[in-house]
């Protein structure tokens, strides 16, 4: 059985393992978190190889180009082969991960036995916003 040449955007995001379910993928697309060739799209938009996607999820951003299409969801090792990420996007996301890790170590609230007070909540909100 040959692989399809075009596939729905929500299904491709699900098969490439960006989202756990197609419903979550469709909600992200409808919410403007996914752009196709720098344009907002609908979940039913058909995509093919060579299309550029911009995906925002959990305060991270991927700028990718579709290199393959799978009709079914497979292992994560195979899912990584379906797209190619730009080096700038990868470097920026890795920098964000390192920065978030440092921030978590700096504000380790798990050792405390109380809810965050007003000052701590403000720090948490400031960290999450930017």
Provide the CA 88 distance to its chain's centre, in angstroms.
Answer: 15
Helix ranges (H only) for the chain are: 9-15, 22-30, 76-79, 87-106, 118-129
pTM: 0.76
pLDDT of residue 116: 86
- Given the structure tokens 């596939």, which residue do they identify? 7
pLDDT tier, 114 (very low <50, low <70, confident <90, very high otherwise)? confident
Lowest mean pLDDT among 82-86, 88-92, 104-108, 117-121: 104-108
Which positions ≥6 away from 72 have C-beta within 8 Å? 15
């Amino acid at each position: 059985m040959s692989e399809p040449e075009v596939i729905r955007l929500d299904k491709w995001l699900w098969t490439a393992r960006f989202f756990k379910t197609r419903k979550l993928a469709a909600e992200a697309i409808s919410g403007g978190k996914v752009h196709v060739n720098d344009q907002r799209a609908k979940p039913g938009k058909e995509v093919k190889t060579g299309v550029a996607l911009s995906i925002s999820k959990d305060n991270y951003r991927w700028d990718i180009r579709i290199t393959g299409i799978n009709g079914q969801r497979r292992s994560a090792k195979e899912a990584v082969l379906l797209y190619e990420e730009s080096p700038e996007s990868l470097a920026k996301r890795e920098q964000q991960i390192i920065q978030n890790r440092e921030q978590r170590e700096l504000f380790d609230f798990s050792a405390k036995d109380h809810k965050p007070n007003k000052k701590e909540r403000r720090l948490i909100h400031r960290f999450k916003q930017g």
